[in-house]
Amino acid sequence: MGPDRERDGRRRETVRAVVYAACGAVLLAGCASMPDSGDLRGVESTPRQDAQVRVFAQPPHEDAQPVQIVQGFLEALTSDDPNYETARQYLTPRAVKEWRPLAATTVLDGGPSTDQISAGTRDDETDTYAFTLTGGRFATLDSRQSYKPADGQYRETLHLTRVKKSGQWRIDELPPGVVMGKSDFLRNYTSVNKYYFASNTLSESDGQPVSVADPVYVRKKVDPMTQTVTSLLEGPSRWLGPVVRSSFPTGTALKKGVTSLTPDDQNRLTVPLNDKASRVSSAKCAEMAAQLLYTLQDLTPTGVDEVALQRANGTQLCFLDKDGAAIVAARGVVQQPEFQYFIDGKHRLVRVVGDSLDADADVAPVPGALGEGEKQLRSAAVSRHEDSAAGVSLDGTTLYVGSLVSGGSLGEPVLTSQGAAGADRLTTPSWDNEGDLWVADRNPKKPRLLVLTKGAGEPLEVRTPGLDGRIEAVRVAADGVRIALIVEKDGIRSLYIGRIERDERSAETSGGSAEERTATKPGQAKGQATGEQQTVSVLELHSVTPQLEEATAMSWAGDNRLVVVGREQRGVQQMAYVQVDGSTPVGSAPAALTGVKGIAASEDERLPLVAYSEEDGIVRLLSGSKWQKLVKDGSAPVYPG
């Protein structure tokens, strides 16, 4: 019984009320009546609706049979009912009290299939029914609405009983949370970035706190603004929590009785808070307002221009506009990159000069030894302030660091790999926002992830507990607390995201190698006395491209997304955007390009993609345009970072 849920979304049999939010008209959708008998079919996906349409399910009708109760309940889980009030009408009073719909959301490939199973009669001689819900897992949302790709089989049971008082069939036992198919999930939910601040990181330019995107999914037609603000106040996701902070005091929530937030006609949002925030300083309040402004920027077509925070008694705490938020806290890239870089046919580091958006831009060697060809290079990384760069030698053995000023020399290598083959040596390096340099040594005898403080000194080996495979590519995010790695195991290359944590301990009270004891901490001048050793770790790595068999290249392409080049099993090479939680962002993928070996994007999403294609050399994708050839002889494109 119960065939799989159709992906093409045939119209449901359950009657649904459809409300047009723009005009307030109430219509009826899917006018076929619910069958009175027959097998229970899989709950089919709802056809795509207009963005302004809200869909509500119908409550159970009188004397509905068990199959109809289950069908109606599953329908109600996918409606736009704010508090699942209709779904609760399919439950017994006890089940209503125990059910926690917000505990989790399970997304299945094709929706839940249903089968009736034997339930028998209880001791009190009450007739009962039971149905299993099954399907292939696609993703889950936890209680904080954080997304995670999932696989394997979903199998849960709904138990029904006839309520003695009313004589009606109702569900009395059910799993926590809600379950729905992928198409319903995409119709019901939208991804939103909440913003917090990196715990121990300041922008190098002016000491601002650095914002970090923390994606969640909210129900897109159930007052998403209030949902998002509430989620922001509740705090960061469990994965990101150890490396970020919120300026909202613990326990801060919306004022009691506030159930909806709406900007006024001047695009100003007033947010009344409870007493937990009543005594914050003006500086702390400004940070709170900046978090809100960054979080709400993409939630409406025009964003929110200004936020006003209120105390519970109605007096104003502070207000902040977009320009003020940029002064209070850095969001992603502190400054727009001035150049795009790559290795030319003479194995020098060169850059695209002139307007970076100009299709006819010129190319010139960078100032300093890395652009003069003193050492032939196969890859490079440019610091985020574009005043220094690191280059890997043509054979991959050595890493050099030099300033991007005329006449500058390289000096001795800062790192040497002992790998026997070129593919077993150093990866392309990456700079973080504190000016530290990251690189992986792929030597099979001693594969390591390393960080060099300010690009100099003794390399510090980074702890990577849980890493299963060899690192093939490294890119640190602009916020300095997240890192993207391509990891290879058994011929499969996957893209992983990890959390960067730094821990300092007294060197006198802890063991460790001489290398560990002499490593300086990031932001500290080389040779400065410390008395502390630092441990740098990349923790809780998770794959964000489980569908890919081979991820060949990647780059950060925004606060919360990356661009990745790869292919699925038995598939062809493709280029796509992916979010750090593993979900696919709304919008089109980059235009197709064959033979891509390298890709570079900026966290400033206005700047063009730059790629290295075996067939066309260095090419760029300008907004609203096609791929355009820049130079035929070139490789290893990068943006600062």
Say if 157 falls within a structural domain: yes
Reported as a pLDDT band with limits 50, 70 and 90, residue 122 is low
Question: Which range, 307-311, 557-561, 627-631, is most confident?
Answer: 307-311
φ and ψ at 580, to 5 degrees?
A: -65, -15
CATH number of the CATH domain containing 506: 2.120.10.30
Using DSSP's 3-state secondary structure scheme, residue 151 falls into coil
Say if 387 falls within a structural domain: yes
H helix runs in 338-416, sequence order: 369-372
Classify the C-alpha dihedral 65-71-73-76 as positive or negative.
negative
473-513 pLDDT tens trace: 999 999 999 999 999 999 899 999 999 999 865 333 333 33
What pLDDT score does 128 carry?
A: 87
Rounded to an integer, the average pLDDT of 246-273 is 96
179 versus 125: the higher-pLDDT residue is: 179
Instruction: Single out the residue of 196, 191, 157 nearest to residue 174, CA to CA.
Output: 157
518-562 pLDDT tens trace: 333 433 433 334 445 689 999 999 999 988 889 999 999 999 999
- The span from the CA of 322 to the CA of 303, in Å, is 10
User: Looking up tokens 């999403």, which residue turns up?
Assistant: 605
Q: In sequence order, what are the residues at sequence separation of 6 or more whose Cβ sits closer than 8 angstroms to the Cβ of residue 266?
A: 305, 306
Total number of residues shown for the chain: 641
Average pLDDT, the chain: 86
What pLDDT score does 8 carry?
A: 37
Instruction: Single out the residue of 233, 329, 328 nearest to residue 276, CA to CA.
Output: 233
% of the chain with per-residue pLDDT over 90:
72
What pLDDT score does 361 carry?
A: 75
190-239 pLDDT tens trace: 999 999 999 976 654 557 899 999 999 999 999 999 999 999 999 999 99
348-374 pLDDT tens trace: 999 998 655 565 678 999 999 999 988
Give me Rg for the CA atoms of the chain: 28
Per-residue burial over 419-455, b if 16 or more Cβ lie within 10 Å, else e, is: beeeebbbbbbbbbbbbbbbbbbbbeeebebbbbbbb
118 versus 298: the higher-pLDDT residue is: 298
User: Looking up tokens 């990159």, which residue turns up?
Assistant: 337
- The span from the CA of 562 to the CA of 565, in Å, is 10
Q: Which of 28-42, 143-157, 383-397 has the lowest mean pLDDT?
A: 28-42
What pLDDT score does 523 carry?
A: 39
- The span from the CA of 44 to the CA of 158, in Å, is 18
- The span from the CA of 158 to the CA of 40, in Å, is 13
User: Looking up tokens 């922001």, which residue turns up?
Assistant: 232
Say if 215 falls within a structural domain: no
41-92 pLDDT tens trace: 344 444 443 445 777 889 999 999 999 999 999 999 999 998 999 999 999 9
Say if 489 falls within a structural domain: yes
Beta strands in 442-573 (DSSP E): 448-452, 460-461, 470-476, 482-489, 492-506, 532-543, 548-556, 561-568
Using DSSP's 3-state secondary structure scheme, residue 592 falls into coil
What residues form DSSP beta bridges with 15?
Answer: none
- The span from the CA of 137 to the CA of 106, in Å, is 7
Domain-terminating residue out of 142, 169, 188? 188
CA distances from 291 to 5, 212, 325, 329 (A): 40, 10, 8, 9
- The span from the CA of 394 to the CA of 239, in Å, is 38
Say if 202 falls within a structural domain: no
CA distances from 249 to 147, 200, 327, 526 (A): 25, 18, 21, 37
Domain that holds residue 108: 16-188
Farthest CA pair distance, the chain = 93
- The span from the CA of 317 to the CA of 295, in Å, is 19
- The span from the CA of 50 to the CA of 63, in Å, is 34
Rounded to an integer, the average pLDDT of 331-341 is 81
Reported as a pLDDT band with limits 50, 70 and 90, residue 602 is very high
| Cβ neighbourhood burial of 144 (10 Å; 0-12, 13-18, 19+) | middle
Q: In sequence order, what are the residues at sequence separation of 6 or more whose Cβ sits closer than 8 angstroms to the Cβ of residue 101?
A: 77, 84, 87, 177, 178
Side-chain half-sphere of 462: how many Cα atoms within 13 Å?
27
- Amino acid code (one letter) for 48: R
575-584 pLDDT tens trace: 999 999 999 9
Number of domains the chain is built from = 2
Reported as a pLDDT band with limits 50, 70 and 90, residue 39 is very low
Domain-terminating residue out of 124, 157, 188? 188
Rounded to an integer, the average pLDDT of 366-385 is 95
Beta strands in 366-414 (DSSP E): 377-382, 388-393, 398-403
Rounded to an integer, the average pLDDT of 245-254 is 97
Contact 622, 352 (CB under 8 A): no
Reported as a pLDDT band with limits 50, 70 and 90, residue 11 is very low
Say if 398 falls within a structural domain: yes
Classify the C-alpha dihedral 525-526-531-533 as positive or negative.
positive
Domain-terminating residue out of 188, 212, 233? 188
Say if 315 falls within a structural domain: no
Rounded to an integer, the average pLDDT of 305-309 is 97
Contact 372, 422 (CB under 8 A): no
CA distances from 305 to 260, 284, 308, 598 (A): 18, 19, 10, 38
Say if 237 falls within a structural domain: no
Q: Say which DSSP state 91 is in.
A: B
The yes-or-no verdict on residue 265 having pLDDT over 50 is yes
The yes-or-no verdict on residue 146 having pLDDT over 60 is yes
What pLDDT score does 570 carry?
A: 84
The pair of structure tokens assigned to 49 is 């609706």
